[in-house]
């Protein structure tokens, strides 16, 4: 695949993450956005690494639209999103769709906020987990439903 095509597709998926970033699920501490679904879908077209970059940038867009409630800690979350979505892409590549979506939901909902248990407070972790699980489940369902339809229309040369 050409670099221009990959960068263009990545820009489109980042823009979709930006739109999802504006769709917020309110929580007690901060709101959680629906910016993950486009990043999950992008694994189909761009592979795990590009999808990880898209997820990290999508999170940063979401954080900026929400007023950066965690300040510089959002850099940690962006790295976590890169790793989680990249691993998701590798799992999906092997054909383990259910395992991939289960991994994303649990990793984003339970593991990703874990550093804040130690860095900020256990109360913040307990506050974030339910909202993150709901938001990630919604993002996962959207991607789960969309992927089979998009597989049918995807050009063959994009398959990795």
Q: Where do the structural domains in the chain lie, given as residue ranges?
A: 3-151
- SS3 of the chain: helix, strand, coil, percent, to 5: 80, 0, 20
Q: For residue 33, what are the contacts with CB-CB under 8 A and spacing of at least 6?
A: 20, 21, 22, 23, 24, 25, 62, 65, 66, 135
* Token pair listed for 39: 């990043």
CA-to-CA distance for 9 and 30, rounded, in angstroms?
Answer: 30
Q: In sequence order, what are the beta bridge partners of 25?
A: 32
Token pair of 77 as six digits = 């979350």
Whether 159 shows a pLDDT value over 90: the answer reads: no
**Could you say which DSSP state residue 69 is in?**
T
Measured CA to CA, the distance from residue 156 to residue 151 in angstroms comes to 9
**pLDDT per residue as tens digits for the range 95-146:** 999 999 999 999 999 999 999 999 999 999 999 899 899 899 999 999 999 9
The pLDDT tens digits of the residues spanning 20-59 come to 999 887 877 667 788 999 999 999 999 999 999 999 999 9
Question: Are 14 and 55 spatial neighbours (Cβ–Cβ below 8 Å)?
Answer: no
* b/e 71-87 (16+ beta carbons within 10 angstroms → b): eeebeebbebbbbbbbb
Residue 23: both structure tokens together? 């769709």
Q: What is the pTM (predicted TM-score) of this model?
A: 0.90
Query: Out of 3.30.2080.10, 3.40.50.620, 1.10.1760.20, 3.20.20.140, which CATH number does the structure's domain 3-151 have?
Result: 1.10.1760.20
Handedness of CA 58, 159, 86, 24 (dihedral sign): positive
Mean pLDDT of 86-94: 96
């Amino acid at each position: 695949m050409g670099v221009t095509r990959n960068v263009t597709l990545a820009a489109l998926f980042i823009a979709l993450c930006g739109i999802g970033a504006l769709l917020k699920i309110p929580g007690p501490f901060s709101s959680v956005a629906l910016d993950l679904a486009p990043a999950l879908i992008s694994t189909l077209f761009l592979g795990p690494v590009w999808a990880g970059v898209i997820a990290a940038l999508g999170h940063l867009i979401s954080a900026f639209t929400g007023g950066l409630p965690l300040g510089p800690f959002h850099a940690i979350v962006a790295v976590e999103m890169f790793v989680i979505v990249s691993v998701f892409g590798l799992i999906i590549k092997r054909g383990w769709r259910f395992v991939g979506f289960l991994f994303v939901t649990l990793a984003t909902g339970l593991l990703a906020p874990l550093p804040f248990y130690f860095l900020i407070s256990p109360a913040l972790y307990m506050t974030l987990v339910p909202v993150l699980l709901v938001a990630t489940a919604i993002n996962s369902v959207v991607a789960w439903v969309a992927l089979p339809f998009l597989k049918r229309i995807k050009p063959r040369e994009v398959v990795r």
